[in-house]
Chains A and B, each alone.
Chain A
Amino acid sequence: MKKVLSILTFISLISVGSIDLNGQCNPDNFANACIPKLASGFNFLKSYKVDGEGGAKDKVEYSYVFTKGTQYMINLCANGAATDGIVVTLFDSGRNKVATSKINGQFISAIAYPCNATGIYYIQYTFDGSAGKCGGSALGFKR
């Protein structure tokens, strides 16, 4: 009986998690999990899927127009409490690096970016020693 319950618990955990029985990445779950983790006061804008397709992709990139005077937050969600080696880096339209979630070798799960220059920005996710190469992210804003 105990064994059966353990199996059921294990299957349930897999089903509500983000890597299915075949080891496929389900980044939607991670992306959705990230939305309520935006800091208080931030309004949700977008959720992003971060799927490295088992190593086939070394980066996943999105873009968004950030506007001067607005503060943005980008957070990361992956298996476990940490970011599983997923790093988010922000580039401006000229591909200059504006921000990164890996600081002094430390993986940070959220970036707060008070934008001072309106323009198109690239939100790039990379995998730095990531085991699952699977995660999600949410973007929010506040004035």
Chain B
Amino acid sequence: MRLVAIGFMALLITACGSKKPDEKAFLESLDSAKTGPTIDEEVISSILQQIPSPLEISVLLKESGTKYNPAILNTSENLSKYNSNYKKALNLGVYGTDLGYTNIYEQNQDGLKYLTSIKSLADGLNIGQFFDIETIGRLATNSKNLDSLLLITTQNFNSINHYLQTQSRANLSVLLLIGGWVEAMQITCQVAAKDPKNKELQEKIGEQKIILEQIVLLLSFYKDDANMASLLKDMEELKGAFDKINITYTYKESTMEIVDGVAVIKDNSTTTINITDQDVEAIRNLTNSIRNKIIS
């Protein structure tokens, strides 16, 4: 019987050990900047989770042969400029994208600088407990750990977003996501400017119209907040440039086959994206302007 009791104790300890970080500290940190939207937070969460990871862009750039260029990233030395929760959340997203970019290109020394800045911003927002800097730092020292590094970084950001949403702090999650998206857009636009004949990159920029529409929708829920309203205005201007782009979707039933226990789909639907060099230039200029406001 004693053994059963010991067993229960062990299980309890294990269960407690796997609990999420100090929720009390976070709850106590909630400040007056908490601004609740007038819409169901479930709706906001469902829109937030649609937004693709900036990592997808970095993988595309690397696999299309684009060389690593740290000059297009936000320097980690800008960290001291970010004092408000608004700026911290936005630039946590920016640095998250930059970290993903350095990880994909296996530039571990640069990645470690972003890691430090990310940890500092996350701590400032009282969500640092979700960022496992020790493990990430260790993984970053060996390029053989790339898959694990990408996995744990993505999981950490997912945990942060999930936690913010469950704590009615989705406004910070929205900012984190927008910061990450703007940085990914900026990277793509800078690369496209140097490779103006790359139609795939132009299309990649054009298809961001779908994501920007969701971002504008998200920000509209928070327009009572002055910072969010200002960001919304900038994003609406950017949306104006995207409105000139036509995306045509044609649905055609897909076919499927089972290969090695996996249902492999053949997608017969298509999208065509009509975007001109002028559209790309206008989008690049506006993106650059918004990004400069965010990182300054």
Q: Does B associate with A?
A: yes
Q: Which residues of A contact B (CB under 8 A)?
A: 4-5, 7-8, 11-12, 15, 35, 39, 43-47, 62-70, 73, 90, 92-94, 96, 98-101, 103, 106, 108-120, 141-143
Chain B positions 52-82 with a Cβ under 8 Å from a chain A Cβ: 52-53, 55-56, 59-60, 63
* Extra contacts besides A67-B52, A90-B265, A99-B265 (20): CB < 8 Å: A7-B4, A8-B7, A35-B151, A43-B59, A43-B147, A45-B53, A46-B158, A47-B158, A62-B46, A64-B50, A92-B251, A96-B251, A96-B253, A103-B258, A110-B261, A112-B263, A112-B264, A116-B271, A117-B251, A141-B53
B122 contacts A by Cβ under 8 Å = no
Q: Is B38 in contact with chain A by the CB < 8 A criterion?
A: no
Would you mind naming 12 contact pairs between A and B with Cβ atoms under 8 Å apart? A5-B3, A8-B3, A8-B4, A65-B214, A90-B265, A98-B265, A99-B265, A111-B263, A114-B266, A116-B271, A119-B271, A120-B210
Q: How far is the CA of A93 from the CA of B210 in the complex (A)?
A: 11
Q: Which of B50, B151, B256, B264 contacts A120 (CB 8 A)?
A: B50
In the complex, the answer to whether A118 meets B271 with C-beta atoms within 8 Å is yes
User: Contacts of B46 on A, CB cut-off 8 Å?
Assistant: 62-63
Residues of B within 8 A of A62 (CB): 46, 49
CB pair B261–A15 under 8 Å, yes or no, is: no
Contacts of B3 in A (CB 8 A): 4-5, 8
Q: Is the CB of A39 within 8 A of B262?
A: yes
Find out whether the CB atom of B271 lies under 8 angstroms from the CB atom of A99. no
Report the count of interface residues on B (CB-CB < 8 A).
Answer: 53
Within 8 A of A (CB), among B102-159: 147, 150-151, 154-155, 158
A8 CA to B268 CA, complexed, in Å: 53
Q: Are B254 and A15 interface neighbours, CB within 8 A?
A: no
Residues of A near B269 (CB, < 8 A) are 92, 96, 98, 116-117
Tell me whether B11 and A99 are in contact (CB under 8 A).
Answer: no
Q: Are B15 and A15 in contact (CB under 8 A)?
A: yes
Q: How far is the CA of A93 from the CA of B56 in the complex (A)?
A: 20
- Residue on A nearest B207 in the bound complex, by CB: A118
B225 within 8 A of A: no
Is B267 at the interface (CB under 8 A from chain A)?
yes
- Chain B, residue nearest A93 (CB): B249
| Cα distance, A35 to B250, chains bound together (Å) | 32
- In the complex, whether B275 has a CB less than 8 A from a CB of chain A is no
Q: Separation in Å of the A67 CB from the closest CB of chain B? A: 6
Q: Are A115 and B267 within 8 A (Cβ)?
A: yes
Q: List chain B residues, Cβ under 8 A from A68.
A: 203, 207, 271
Indicate whether B83 reaches chain A with its CB closer than 8 angstroms: no
B191 adjacent to chain A (CB < 8 Å): no
A117 to B59, CA, bound (A): 18
B32 — which chain A residues lie within 8 A by C-beta? none
Asked if B84 CB lies within 8 Å of chain A CBs, one says no
Report B-chain residues with C-beta under 8 Å of the C-beta of A117.
249-251, 267, 269-271
Q: Which residues of the other chain, B, contact A7 by a CB distance below 8 angstroms?
A: 4, 7
Identify the closest chain B residue to A142 (Cβ): B59
* Complex interface: chain B residues within 8 A of A112 (CB): 259, 262-265
Q: How far is the CB of B135 from chain A (nearest CB, A)?
A: 15
Query: How distant is the Cα of A65 from the Cα of B107 in the complex, in angstroms?
Result: 28
B267 pairs with A12, CB closer than 8 A? no
A99-B265, A143-B59 are contacts. A44–B210 as well, Cβ < 8 Å? no
